């Protein structure tokens, strides 16, 4: 399910000291820390509220004690199809994009044994399992369009240049200078890559006192378009053991190997309107020694992060009477090793000295704007309390409450020796404690079961009283509604189907910067994106 978007501005992702901050952001941490009801169709259809129930392969990832509830061995296989629709509003313009795809959400095997042979005494069940469950999906496409009268990303480039390189001589931003020979600023200079790209594409100039953009003050409006394509997922390979003690107490332990993959391609385009005039005569690059008129530009950033981690889960289920069950489980942090890869590209079209220049960097130059960064990451602890009422063969009702403190995530051990404490402080200031709620119900009619569920995930972002410092996503809650049905034959074959509808709202800004002269923060208008994901899940299984 796609519920986490780029929450901070593009500026955060694209700005860096030595361009290292582009290697990771706290958004990466949030993506690795969030989990949603994904897996078998029965699990999905009941909102993932299985912490006190068990006897479902995906429930093992919530409370491994549920493995002890099994009375027979089992194999499950779960493909899914999802469609995510984004509706983005920016400067009064609304755009809709859709992303669709198939996935494997679950495959698992359970081996059930009965050591004591007596269901009322001793260890009546000792069960083992191995398999895979998906816990988050990032597939989504987003399109943002609007006409801005207040700012351009070129203003951001100019402000960034002044903030990070006040004493930088402009010639140092060029790749080659006849007087110096070969010069590569991505290696020999500390300038942010966005600034270097803008300078080499005629989008920045130097008036002798400061850096300025190629857009004159009387530029009118500029049409802005931003397209984002994301993909990837989180998943868990678990090896688990569960037991039943006299059908009263169930205990379980699970060791997990987790995988993370996230990819995002962002293309930001700007086109000037006919009111745009040439800039004042200033010195730009190369042969552009006079006025420069900006026509259009493309700025492309390609980010990906991938890695693996390990964690452990310990759980218990207690049944004081047959119809009542209570569950409790704790999940250790997942200890990830992550590699982040990133690349940048920029092209432009400008007029100067009566000549139109279509500017782009060579392949050799573009090779300089790629990077990789490795670091360690720890997700927060999770504590899950559960309760269920089982009405014999008629059905059941269950509820899970999950506590997660997202502010406790930890970035560690950057490959350049950085302890990444700045990201940890940012996470503390940005995220908060949350209690996620999951509800589920099932009604059994012979060999047929009807199910429904709901899950509520409050925003992980803090609420700030100062209006000027409010996080845009402090109200970005997520709602998941689901229904499903299942059929079980008398020979052990069963099939379950579920449909899940997920709704979330997120906001972000295309760019932002600080006006040092006036001591104020300058923002693009906010983008508001509504995401709606419909997902169909089908599980086929065998009990033996």
Note the pLDDT of residue 202. Answer: 86
CA-closest candidate to residue 293, choices 312, 308, 273:
273
Based on its alpha-carbon atoms, the radius of gyration of the chain, rounded to whole angstroms, reads: 27
Lowest mean pLDDT among 91-95, 171-175, 270-274, 453-457: 171-175
Question: Would you place residue 12 in the very low, low, confident or very high pLDDT band (cuts 50, 70, 90)?
Answer: very low
Q: Are 496 and 74 in contact (CB under 8 A)?
A: no
Look over the chain and give the mean of its residue pLDDT values, rounded to a whole number: 87
**Whole-prediction pTM:** 0.89
Note the pLDDT of residue 23. Answer: 45
Q: How many CA atoms lie within 13 A of 421 on its CB side?
A: 3
CA-closest candidate to residue 13, choices 403, 304, 320, 421:
304
For 512-528, what is each residue's pLDDT tens digit?
877 766 667 777 889 99
For 180-230, what is each residue's pLDDT tens digit?
556 677 877 777 888 889 988 888 877 767 788 888 766 678 999 999 999
Question: Would you place residue 160 in the very low, low, confident or very high pLDDT band (cuts 50, 70, 90)?
Answer: confident
Chosen CATH of 10-446+456-471+481-543 out of 2.30.110, 2.40.160, 1.20.1050, 1.10.1200: 2.40.160
Give the count of beta carbons closer than 10 Å to the beta carbon of residue 269.
17
Residue 4 has pLDDT above 50, yes or no: no
The enclosing H or E element of 196 equals: helix 193-200
Note the pLDDT of residue 179. Answer: 54
Q: Which residue has the higher pLDDT, 508 or 387?
A: 387
Residue 536 has pLDDT above 60, yes or no: yes
Note the pLDDT of residue 286. Answer: 47
Q: What ranges do the domains of the chain cover? A: 10-446+456-471+481-543
Residues in the chain: 544
CA-closest candidate to residue 263, choices 137, 378, 83, 96:
137
Note the pLDDT of residue 283. Answer: 52
Question: Would you place residue 14 in the very low, low, confident or very high pLDDT band (cuts 50, 70, 90)?
Answer: very low
Lowest mean pLDDT among 32-36, 277-281, 286-290: 286-290
Both tokens assigned to 331: 């999940």
Residue 151 has pLDDT above 70, yes or no: yes
CA 538 to chain centre: 25
Lowest mean pLDDT among 17-31, 280-294, 302-316: 280-294
Question: Would you place residue 267 in the very low, low, confident or very high pLDDT band (cuts 50, 70, 90)?
Answer: very high
60 vs 255, 257, 329, CA distance in Å?
Answer: 10, 14, 10
Note the pLDDT of residue 245. Answer: 95
d(CA 347, CA 343): 14
SS (H, E, C) 192-260: CHHHHHHHHCCCEEECCCCEEECCCCCCCCEEEEEEEEEEEEEEEEEEEEEEEECCCEEEEEEEEEEEE
Lowest mean pLDDT among 61-70, 164-173, 209-218, 373-382: 164-173
Q: Are 482 and 452 in contact (CB under 8 A)?
A: yes
Across 390-415, average pLDDT: 96
DSSP symbols for 494-518: EEEEEEEEEEEEEEEES-EEEETTT
Lowest mean pLDDT among 44-58, 445-459, 491-505, 508-522: 508-522
């Amino acid at each position: 399910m796609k519920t986490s978007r780029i929450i901070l501005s593009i500026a955060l992702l694209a700005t860096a000291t030595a361009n290292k901050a582009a290697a990771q952001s706290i958004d990466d941490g949030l993506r690795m820390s969030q989990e949603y009801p994904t897996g078998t169709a029965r699990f999905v259809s009941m909102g993932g509220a299985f912490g006190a129930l068990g006897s479902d392969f995906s429930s093992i990832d919530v409370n491994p004690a549920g493995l002890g509830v099994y009375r027979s061995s089992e194999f499950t296989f779960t493909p899914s199809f999802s469609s995510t629709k984004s509706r983005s509003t920016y400067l009064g313009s609304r755009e809709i994009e859709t992303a669709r795809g198939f996935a494997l959400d679950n495959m698992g095997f359970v081996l059930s044994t009965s050591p004591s042979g007596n269901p009322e005494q001793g260890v009546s069940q000792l069960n083992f399992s191995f398999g895979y469950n998906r816990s988050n999906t990032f597939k989504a496409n987003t399109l943002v369009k609007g006409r801005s009268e207040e700012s351009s990303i070129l203003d951001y480039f100019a402000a960034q240049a002044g903030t990070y390189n006040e004493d930088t001589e402009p010639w140092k931003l060029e790749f080659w200078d006849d007087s110096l020979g070969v010069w590569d600023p991505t290696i020999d200079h500390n300038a942010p890559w966005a600034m270097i790209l803008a300078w080499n594409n005629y989008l920045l100039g130097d008036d002798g006192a400061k850096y300025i953009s190629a857009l004159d003050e009387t530029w009118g409006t500029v049409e802005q378009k931003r397209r984002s394509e994301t993909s990837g997922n989180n998943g868990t390979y678990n090896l688990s053991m569960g037991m039943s003690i006299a059908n009263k107490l169930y205990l379980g332990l699970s060791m997990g190997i987790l995988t993370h993959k996230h990819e995002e391609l962002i293309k930001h385009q700007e086109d000037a309107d006919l009111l745009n005039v040439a800039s004042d005569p200033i010195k730009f690059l190369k042969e552009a020694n006079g006025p420069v008129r900006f026509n259009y530009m493309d700025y492309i950033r390609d980010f990906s992060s991938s890695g693996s981690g390990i964690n452990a889960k310990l759980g218990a289920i207690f049944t004081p009477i047959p119809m009542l069950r209570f569950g409790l489980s704790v999940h250790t942090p997942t200890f990830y090793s992550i590699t982040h890869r990133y690349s940048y590209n920029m092209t432009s079209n400008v007029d100067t000295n009566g000549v139109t220049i279509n500017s782009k960097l060579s392949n050799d130059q573009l090779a300089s704007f790629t990077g990789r960064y490795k670091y360690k990451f720890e997700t927060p602890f999770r504590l899950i309390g559960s309760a269920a009422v089982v009405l014999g063969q008629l059905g059941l009702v269950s509820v899970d409450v999950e506590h997660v403190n997202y502010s406790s995530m930890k970035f560690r051990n950057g490959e350049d020796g950085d302890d990444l404490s700045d990201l940890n402080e940012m996470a503390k200031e940005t995220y908060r404690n949350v209690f996620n709620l999951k509800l589920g119900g099932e009604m059994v009619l012979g060999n047929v079961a009807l199910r429904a569920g709901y899950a509520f995930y409050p925003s992980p972002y803090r609420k700030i009283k100062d209006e000027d410092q409010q996080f845009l996503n402090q109200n970005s809650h997520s709602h998941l509604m689901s229904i499903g049905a299942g059929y079980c034959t008398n020979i052990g074959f069963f099939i379950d189907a579920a449909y899940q509808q997920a709704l979330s709202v997120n906001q972000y800004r295309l760019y932002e910067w600080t006006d040092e002269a006036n001591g104020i923060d300058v923002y693009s208008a906010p983008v508001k994106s509504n995401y709606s994901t419909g997902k169909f899940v089908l599980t086929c299984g065998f009990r033996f």
